[in-house]
Chain A
Amino acid sequence: MGLLRKIFYLISFLFIAGCAKSLIQISSGNLENIHPIFGKNGERDFFYNIITSDSLKLVWKADAFGSFNNSSVVANDSMIFIADLAGRIHVFNLENGKQRGVLKTKGAIFSTPFLYKFRIYYPLVKDGKKLTEFIVYDYYAGKDLYIVEIEDLITNQMLFDDESIYLFAEDGTVYKYNYETKLIWKIETNQNIHSVPALTKNKIFIGNDTGEIVIIDTNTGKILDRKKISSHFFSGITINDGICYIGDDEGKLFAIDSDTYEIIFSVDTKGRILMNPAIDDKNIYVGNMKRMFFCIDKKNGKIIWSKNLKGYFNTTPIVTSNHLFVPNLFKSLFVLDKQSGEVIKEIEFDNRARLSLVIVKNKLIIGYDEGVIAAYEFVN
């Protein structure tokens, strides 16, 4: 009988745990959204103008429910937020990794959530339907503010500017909503998009599955230009100093003038590029699926160094003033000297790295398979 009682308690515990309330409610004072979106800003340069130590100490690990695609956490000054592919938004305490809340929904969230004031904006793709719910959640009040149904699959990263949020559907439709979820415009580009778009100077730059670059005016929703320059784009666009950088399936990295839309240069890396390039004040950093990692002069496309490393690179790295932090599919993170490309350190994980890295308050936040989030602290 004692055994049966224990089994009953265990099942009850699991049942109760499984039915934990779907709630994020954090009644703090003013919070600064340090890292509000994938790539940190609309141009997504993945650059941190800080000197980093190459000595990293694991501070905490936490578990999300589902795993991740190539996205990242977002953060305010005390919490990090992560969406998973099983349809949940998790909030963890930045300092100790304790879960502060979770939103449970049915479906999948491909996009990194967008933080705006006390709001979380995220698109929830529903299972078995061509339907996405665009949800705005107020985590101060602990409730949904808006739920908008979109008959499309929003599987891409969002963009934002001062007034609006931009959503990108798999079939190439682009939506502009204001912060109160009123649809401002939508436009069909008529080609599938799997490449992560970027935004600068009121223009959205999109690479699509057929190798076109499409430029959309954010004010009018009109297509300003579209031109086919490659076979397929599955990587993301990064913009820096008025130049868009994007890699294609053949391994070419293109630099495109954001005003004239002309190709400034292209570099052949000879391997499929799936990540957004990272850019600092001088160089572009990009890896490919042939295990090669490149440092390229952002002005003229000259390869400064290249390295053959053990991992396959499909997750966007970050660059600081002195280092490159490069996650890879072979269960590790490389810390590289960005001047020479030498591997300073390799940190091995239990599984494949999936999230692009984020640095928040001296902590490096990573994510890998099975929904694991880990925070490493830079130590001197």
Chain B
Amino acid sequence: MKILFRLCFVILLFAFADLQAQYFFFGRNKVQYEDFDWKVLRTEHFNIYYYGEMETIAEIGAAYAEEIYAELSEKLNHVVTRKIPLIFYNTSIHFQQTNVTPGFIPEGVGGFFEFVKGRVVIPSTGSLSDFRHVIRHELVHVFMTNKVFRVLRDHRQPTDILPPLWFVEGLAEYLSTEVDAQAEMVMRDAVINNYFVGLKDIFKIYGSFLMYKEGQSFLEFVEEKYGAEKIPLILDNIWLYKNFNEVIEHTLQKSIEEIDNEWSYYLKRKYFPLLADKVPQEIGAKKLTNWGFNFSPVYYKSKDSSFIFFSANRDGYSSLYKLPLDKDFNPADEPELILRGEKSDEFESFHLFQSAIDVSKSGLLSFVTKSGATDVIHFMNVSNNQIIKTFQRDYLISISSPKFSDDGNKIVFQAVDQKGFSDIYYYEIENDSLVRLTNDYYDDRDPCFGLNNKIIFSSDRTAGNFAGKYNLFSIQLDNKEIKYVTYANANFSNPIISNNKQFLLFTSDVDGVRNIWMQKINEGKFDNKITQISNFFTSAFDPRFINDTMIVFSGFQNFSFHIYRKTINQSELDSTKTIVFESRSVKGKWLAETLPSESEYQKLNYEKEYALDYAQSVVATDPVFGTRGGAILTLSDLLGDDQYYILLYNTAEVQSDFLRSFNLSITRINLSSRVNFGYGIFNFNGRRYDIRETDEFFYEKSYGGVFLLSYPLTKFQRIEASTTLADTEREIVPGISERKAFLLSNSISMVHDNSLWSTSGPIDGSRWLVLLGYTTDIKFSNVNYFSIIGDYRYYIRLGLRTALATRFGFFYNEGKDARRYFMGGSWDLRGWPRWSIRGEKMWLTSLEFRFPLIDQLNIKFPFLDLGFWGFRAATFFDAGSAWDREYKTTYGSVGVGFRFNIFGVLVLRYDIGKKIEKDFTQLQPGLFYQFFFGWDF
């Protein structure tokens, strides 16, 4: 959203006089559903920003931050002397509304450190251990960047150097967490399945989750082999070499090849022996899916058939699927898409990694999606795939894993409220009655219905020797009494009771990764012993019963998540791999840390303090146009809600023009609430390219103001409006022809975008825009015209990476001195000279078949290896025309194009084809060749 505003602003800066934008920008919206009432908790080393009811979480976070600060200062022999801004959100959903960064925040992001102003932004997810982990992770970034800056500055070296990303993230993980089941799972999988890459090739996994975990693994290896003291020394030595590998070589006193070999050997020695008694999931279970990322299977049997429902991302969108099973519980067909997510506001996102789905015996499927400001629970009839009910409460921001009762009339689920507390709720579907079962800062999750009016759930409320571990608990529905079901030094998740009520099935990381375990139930009481029934070397998730001897679950292997089916053998139930609980009657509870005394912190209201985001100036000297210079500055408050853009430049060509050639604009954009607005003033003077006549310029001076408004209806649609008032004086032929105008221009538009992008442009979804505008000269009546614009783009997915893209645009200005549109060139009507076809009216259509060409191209020089990825191609057909009064001719072109994305920021385009000339009656002789840059439409 912010990007859109900025782009609108830039366009208005440079083309305001023509008042109707030539280019129309689509894009999804970052909707600020909440008006956050920000407050500040000021501690010794931090300014902590929080809002609403999350004071308790903010205070706990502040205590964590201070403790971590002291720890990192000691470990890294470094202090950060400024107060570090920590911005807390109560959930990931609110976190995704932050304006600290302009881009969209993907669901999996647990927090970020913004390097320019040193801001740390972190959501609470309901889990204090996760919260503490993320605070620590981000503070490692703060300390590391500050220390690297200090080391380089001390040596008077350029301070814009940082270690490579794998080290930056690896260090943050290494210093912020023990090896957990997730890290262990990823590294085991990478090493055993042979996609682990060493330091020399780590660029190949740049930015991936694997890169984080490999960086962490490398530093754990350094600690074990060379000593923990070497790791801060790497930062101390960074001034010595420009190449970071040389810094590592110097610190560890070995070559990178030797270090790489040692690390690889260390990992193989660590993980290969696991294969002696652990199995891959494909061998220990039957794999039911073969593509994509598949999660949370639930089994459902109708009268004459049986299915597994699951959530998955199999084509770029998170969706719900149905897999039909034959009588042997093998797939009878390919999975069928039953509900498409991420294309509409109602199903804005499925939380694939967080939330499970469930199905009742009567055929009601429950699942969670984000819908608008909060998560909601949908109830879908599986016989016709219709949503029959939706549950939503304003105060429950984030919801996970609803589970049905046996009769299908009730559900239990986990939700995070506005305080940031993660608790268990009980909901009666028929009478819409909701009961909150727990209410504290312990992380209660994965509830399911148990026996005797009890709910079983996983929680970190474990006290005693294993304080903070996620054990399983039961809570009595009537008196809310909580008891331990398990008590061990491990984490337990995803409990579910068998149909015959004899077993409790769940996952546990007892042996390093999450495997499936079982607990017998005798006469309604849980045994004091649990038995391991899977022994995979990577993790299993969300096990569910098909029947009393067969389960289905999702599992991670070969860097992919699939659905598996497993038969439980009697021998596994009698497994020797058991854990016996010594006690399940531990008393008391652990308490979260708090700030020591009120004298050491202050609570304040948030007051905006503006600081520079960006400043750039340039002075250029040209033999024809002389010396010119300009600067652009942007300022914003700490939360990024209020932004100022200042542009100043001078276009004088001779000294006498200097004073009258200043160009200035100041614009304020406010993004703090759902309605985004902006306003500004400008004064522009200088020569303008005259789009009415080819290769002509005119001199124009103008000043005025602009007002912008944008209201996002959903993530995918918004309404935009703008008003501009400008006094202009245009000198077309000096002393002879001129135009004075006092222009008032209004426009309103509706924009839609739910497209899914590949490396060079959209390949699925649609984008459209409708704009109505009116521009008039309210003083001299020299200009008076209206505008209608319609632009529609639709992308038909033909395969995973192929698509047919269509576009139709209609641009219509009518009235006195109406602005002209233009086209031609690589962006629209290919083959024709760039922007050479002009008129007050214009239409354009394109049809394009987009497909991958070369996935990877490696060039091996004797001294250097180069790799390029993601070459794409397209065949295209374009047609269109532009005219003023009378329609003249139709232009067209056909051809083939090649696309290459450079580092995700720029697409190079090379098109070859033939123009269709002479009112669409003749192909050009020969071919045209066009090279340019830009994304596909």
Contact = CB atoms under 8 A, between A and B. Distances in A.
A66 B75 CA distance: 24
B81 A351 contact: yes
A68 B229 contact: no
A283 interface: no
B74 A272 contact: yes
Interface string A199-220: 0000000000110000000000
Contacts of A312: 73-74, 79
A69 B242 CA distance: 21
A86 B156 contact: yes
Nearest to A86: B156
B150 interface: yes
A232 B227 contact: yes
B79 A329 contact: yes
A127 B74 contact: no
Nearest to B78: A329
A290 interface: yes
B77 interface: yes
Contacts of A171: 253
A274 B227 contact: no
B590 interface: no
A1 B688 CA distance: 28
B70 A291 contact: yes
B156 A65 contact: yes
Contacts of B79: 312, 329-330, 352
B81 A67 contact: no
A209 B227 CA distance: 9
Of listed A234, A289, A290, A314, residue having the most chain B CB within 10 A: A289
B77 A314 contact: yes
Interface in A109-159: 127-128, 130
A314 to B, nearest CB: 6
A356 B547 CA distance: 74
Nearest to A354: B154
A209 B70 contact: no
A271 B186 CA distance: 35
B153 interface: yes
A290 B227 contact: no
Interface in B218-261: 227, 229, 233, 239-242, 246, 250, 253
Residue with the highest number of chain A CB atoms closer than 10 Å, among B78, B150, B229: B229
A274 B81 contact: no
B74 A330 contact: no
B779 interface: no
Contacts of A54: none
Interface in B254-273: none
Contact of B242 (A128, A130, A369): A128
A249 interface: yes
Interface residues of B, number: 24
B155 interface: yes
B227 A289 contact: no
Given A108-B239, A232-B227, A330 B81 contact: yes
A75 interface: no
A298 interface: no
Nearest to A108: B155
A193 interface: no
B229 A249 contact: yes
Interface string A57-100: 00000000111110000000000000001100000000000000
A66 B155 contact: yes
Contacts of A351: 81
A331 interface: yes
A234 B150 contact: no
A293 to B, nearest CB: 15
Interface in A280-294: 289-291
Contacts of B229: 209, 232, 234, 249
Interface in B16-64: 44
Instruction: Name the residue in B78, B240, B242 with the highest tally of chain A Cβ atoms < 10 Å from its Cβ.
Output: B240
Given A209-B227, A232-B229, A128 B240 contact: yes
Contacts of B253: 171
B346 to A, nearest CB: 53
A130 B240 CA distance: 9
Given A108-B155, A128-B240, A130-B250, A290 B70 contact: yes
B84 to A, nearest CB: 14
A210 B230 CA distance: 11
Interface string A308-325: 001010100000000000
Contact of B240 (A127, A194, A330): A127
Nearest to A251: B74
A129 to B, nearest CB: 9
B154 A66 contact: yes
Contacts of B73: 289, 312, 329
Interface in A320-351: 329-331, 351
A378 B257 CA distance: 57
Nearest to B250: A130
A108 B153 CA distance: 12
A180 B229 CA distance: 37
Contact of A290 (B74, B81, B153): B74
Contacts of B250: 130
A352 B154 contact: no
A151 B70 CA distance: 38
A271 B75 CA distance: 10
A108 B156 CA distance: 10
Nearest to A352: B81
Contacts of A67: 150, 153-155
Nearest to B233: A194
Contact of A274 (B77, B155, B156): B77
B597 to A, nearest CB: 13
Given A108-B239, A330-B81, A85 B154 contact: yes
Nearest to B241: A128
A234 B227 CA distance: 13
A10 B153 CA distance: 25
A17 B240 CA distance: 26
A352 B82 CA distance: 11
Contacts of A210: 227
Nearest to B243: A128
Nearest to B253: A171
Interface in A32-47: none
Contacts of B154: 66-69, 85-86, 369
Contact of B74 (A86, A128, A289): A289
A289 B233 CA distance: 17
Interface in B67-109: 70, 73-75, 77-79, 81
Contacts of B240: 127-128
Interface string B146-184: 000010011110000000000000000000000000000
Contacts of A291: 70
Nearest to A88: B156
B443 to A, nearest CB: 30
A353 B37 CA distance: 39
A21 B404 CA distance: 83
Interface in B608-666: none
Contacts of A274: 77
A66 B154 CA distance: 5
Nearest to B74: A289
Interface in B265-324: none
A66 B81 contact: no
Contacts of B70: 290-291
A289 B70 CA distance: 8
Return the 3 tightest CB-CB contacts between A and B, nearest first: A67-B154, A86-B156, A289-B74
Given A232-B229, A352-B81, 5 more contacts: A65-B156, A66-B156, A85-B154, A289-B73, A329-B81
15 contacts: A67-B150, A68-B154, A86-B154, A86-B155, A108-B239, A127-B239, A128-B240, A128-B242, A130-B250, A272-B74, A272-B75, A312-B73, A312-B74, A312-B79, A369-B150
Interface of A: 65-69, 85-86, 108, 127-128, 130, 171, 194, 209-210, 232, 234, 249, 271-272, 274, 289-291, 310, 312, 314, 329-331, 351-352, 369-370
